[in-house]
């Protein structure tokens, strides 16, 4: 289900020769189907010889009256049990820089460091609540990248 609201904001702050900037985006409301949680709940994944099992398989058969969402043939029985709130706030980037103005005559130098995708705040239990089709099949998390740079203006 699509979010009720999407938003984004950023800020720039400068003090003497230092500068700090960041940008954020997020959404309120909406739901995402946590398909990874559903398909990782196989009974076979709880066997000791499977090192890739997820912790939710341990709770899969805790109650004999519990409804089994995956049968012995591996056929998925879809349910709204795996719908989760998709509200989040993601920091897209943070950059911190220092300017060395007129260190060399008529040349301005700026040294900076930046971090892309440093964190996300959400109650969603899967990889990423931001899904364009509202079904989370993500296997890999979004990468974080670190950048160091030097800018020269002359």
Residues in the chain: 154
- pLDDT grade, residue 64 (50/70/90)? very low
Comparing 94-103, 104-113, 136-145, the range with the smallest average pLDDT is 136-145
Distance CA 107, CA 102 (A): 6
Structural domain boundaries, residue 73? 5-153
Highest-confidence segment of 36-40, 92-96, 124-128, 140-144: 92-96
Counting the structural domains of the chain, the total is: 1
Helix or strand run (H / E) with residue 36: helix 35-39
Is the pLDDT reported for residue 22 higher than 90? Answer: yes
Which position has the token pair 């892309």? 116
């Amino acid at each position: 289900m699509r979010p009720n609201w999407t938003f984004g904001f950023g800020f720039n702050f400068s003090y003497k020769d230092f500068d700090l900037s960041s940008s954020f985006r997020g959404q309120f409301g909406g739901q995402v189907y946590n398909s990874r949680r559903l398909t990782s709940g196989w009974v076979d994944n709880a066997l000791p010889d499977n090192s890739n099992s997820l912790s939710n398989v341990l709770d899969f058969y805790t109650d004999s009256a519990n409804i089994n969402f995956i049968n012995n043939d591996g056929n998925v029985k879809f349910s709204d049990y795996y719908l989760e709130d998709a509200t989040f706030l993601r920091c897209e980037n943070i950059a911190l820089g220092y300017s060395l103005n007129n260190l060399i005559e008529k040349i301005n130098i700026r040294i900076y460091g930046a971090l892309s995708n440093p964190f996300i705040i959400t109650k969603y239990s899967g990889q990423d609540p931001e899904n364009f089709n509202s079904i989370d099949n993500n296997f890999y998390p979004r990468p974080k990248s670190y950048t160091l740079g030097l800018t020269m203006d002359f």
